[in-house]
Amino acid sequence: MIQRIQSLYLLMTILLSVLFLEGNIFAFADGNGVLYKATIKGINLVSEGVASPHIHSTLPLTIFVLLTAIGSGITLFGFRNRRVQSKLAFSVIILAVMLILTFIYCIWFAISEFHARLIPGYKMVLPLLMLIFAILAYRGIKKDDNLVKSYDRLR
């Protein structure tokens, strides 16, 4: 049934993925005060409010965010088969972990390549929230599956 709590968790994962793709993902500045911003298209040098062409690609990060959103959507509408939905939810968890690792790598690469310091932002927490909501959805799906199994034993 689509009105279960895990459906809400999966919907939150989708919404956080879309929010993550909007605007700047993270920003950092080097010792000279030069500002760099990372978007889904790549890392750009920002000088006097104008962004330069992409210095480095963030394509793997974009791919994992899109896969997490698509996987959550497929899992959300796979409610008719709990076992398949459970496997899909577990794959969303794996994708969220891969997203976090890729995000950490992109930040580490930017800091080491440009000798810069990270400017913290709220979008740095979104991949972790996606992982938490994916885990909560998986737990809810497993709980429903165990409940149905217990009813089958009683019959």
CATH of the domain at 107: 1.20.140.150
> Does residue 40 sit within a domain?
yes
> Does residue 65 sit within a domain?
yes
> Does residue 152 sit within a domain?
no
Assessment of whether the complete model's pTM goes beyond 0.85: yes
What is the Cα–Cα distance from 154 to 9, expressed in whole angstroms? 30
> Does residue 96 sit within a domain?
yes
- Please provide the average confidence, as pLDDT, over all residues in the chain: 87
Q: Which domain holds residue 122?
A: 5-144
> Does residue 151 sit within a domain?
no
Q: What is the per-residue pLDDT for 1?
A: 47
Q: What is the per-residue pLDDT for 154?
A: 62
What is the Cα–Cα distance from 64 to 41, expressed in whole angstroms? 13
> Does residue 153 sit within a domain?
no
Instruction: Classify residue 146 by burial, with Cβ atoms within 10 Å: 0-12, 13-18, 19+.
Output: exposed
Q: What is the per-residue pLDDT for 24?
A: 87
> Does residue 99 sit within a domain?
yes
Which candidate, 62, 32, 67, 58, places its Cα nearest to that of 47?
32
* Segment 83-116, tens digit of pLDDT: 899 999 999 999 999 999 999 998 898 888 888 8
Domain count, the chain: 1
Percentage of the chain exceeding pLDDT 90? 44
Q: Cα–chain-centroid distance for residue 10? A: 12
